[in-house]
Structure 1
Amino acid sequence: MNGEAPTRSRWTGVAAVSRAAAPAPRSARLRGRCALSVALPLAVAAYLIAVRTSGGQRWENAVLLSGGGGRLGPTAAVEHALGTLTAGSLGVAVVAVVTVGVIRRRYLLAAVAGGSVVATALAARILKGTLLTRPLLDIGHGAPVHNSLPSGHSAIAMSVAAAALLVTPAGRWRPLVGGPVLAWAVAMGACTVVAGWHRPSDVVTGNLLALGTAALAVLLLGVAGHVRAARPREDGRRRVLVVPLAVLAAVGAGAALLQAGVPGLVSTYHGGLGLACASGASTGLALLALTRGLSFGAGDG
């Protein structure tokens, strides 16, 4: 009789763990679908409003010309930051993401995370260079007339941040890695506006493209069953990332709304820059929500 109690307790504990782990793949699938259902319509709306209307083009051209192409020339630091994102550095980032997954013996995770970065870069190039067009609706400002949506810099930087969140173990490491990479991704998007390389909608759609590919990655891992629930204490430290991102999103969105509602209060340039920053910070928050409480690649090895 005395030996039965520990055995029963042991099996009860195993069953509890199994029940707790079972919803994790379903949660990943649900989150992936929800993120896709948000990212895709928002990206389409941004394109239709900013590119396919004369008012959208007029406002964004004013932002573009007041950046690096106008009175507010880019600083050397901004130009240097943008110059660090090249084909070579993209390759290094993909190799780093895949290497972390392989070291952890999470081989499907390594392939999915690395593939999501490559897919984002290819999708941005195809969308910008082939599929999407920019009609000439705003004439006389001297702004470039070619399509620049989505921003490859924004899309790639945010997809690298998303992949880093996926392959990093849940716990103290994910917030430590997530903080710097998300800050870098948001900064890259803002720098393209400061330098006059991109319009705000380019950054918005680039971030949404990265969110969409990250959602597909989470959905795929959930379908494959390579997701488990992280322990509650493993995920608590990420709260320190939420506050600064939420503040930046609120301040950026506030600047854009004030510029639209009271044009003389906030300059067009700062309204556009605020929108780009709000987009990056909001995407960062969405990525944190997408990965919260989940450990990926748990079914491998």
Structure 2
Amino acid sequence: MRKITNFTASDVSNGFIIGSFLTVWPAIVYFKLLRPPFAKYKALILLRYILYIILVYSAVKFTQELILPSINGEEQYILDNSGIGIIMSLVLMITAPTLDYFITDICHFNNASYNFNLLKEEIEVSSRQFDIDIYYIQRLYKYEIEKYSREYNINSRLIEVILTLESMHRGELIRKIGEKIGCKYFYFLVVNQDMSIGVSQMKISTISRVLKTSPYNFKRKITSTKFLIRVTCRYLKEILEEYEFNREYEKKRGIDDVYEYIAESYTGSAKNKSGKVYSIILKKNLKNWGELNEFNESVG
């Protein structure tokens, strides 16, 4: 092997193993295969990836032990004839798809069932995080939520839930510090990138549209919690009024209720995974709290 590639057989084998692992690792992370709760469908997917790595390694060893020596003119006792290279190539061509089919069949799972389980798990994880975060939202912003939800005659529980959901997607402390630095010293970049800002995570363009003014007119207020909560109340009031006006059209479009309409406004779609999780958590935490388009004091 070193004569051909300047690498030892061990180097090549290890390289292929690492390469095959890096190929499947993003999918393992995306599907959260190593995170609880564990389920059969996760084990089947993980098994398929493991078998893929084993198959790659086996193909490399097969090539190193049989095909390359044959090409170099070394005698092979498994199939000792002048056409061994062609025969081995044909064997690999036939074996690879057969093994892939076999692995797929062994590790088969129902895709619809998997998607349902993945959505269910995402809802459970998000709901647990939501129950923790809403406590802090209520304690930190109680008076601002009550004041501005009353001003715009909107259910204060809706504001709590939206601020909690958005804060869950905001990230760690480093993100919050980055937002403040960006808004203070690099505001033109914040505007150009249309960043989401603050506790409400509203985009600069959305705030500008709601207030009907240039982003540079609210530069000094952009990191103010009071300002952002007030704009959020105004924005949600507009969303609720739009839904009431277009309710029949939205039903024809596939939007079943106001929660899906709000989710679509915030996530871009009510039908993808993020939108479904968003709308389900909204419904779960708002369905027993009265009319959304009327003030209802709910802050603890």
The TM-score, its normalising length taken from structure 1, stands at: 0.23
Bigger Rg, which one = 2
Q: Which structure is higher in RCO with an 8 Å CA cutoff and minimum separation 6? A: 1
The TM-score, its normalising length taken from structure 2, stands at: 0.23
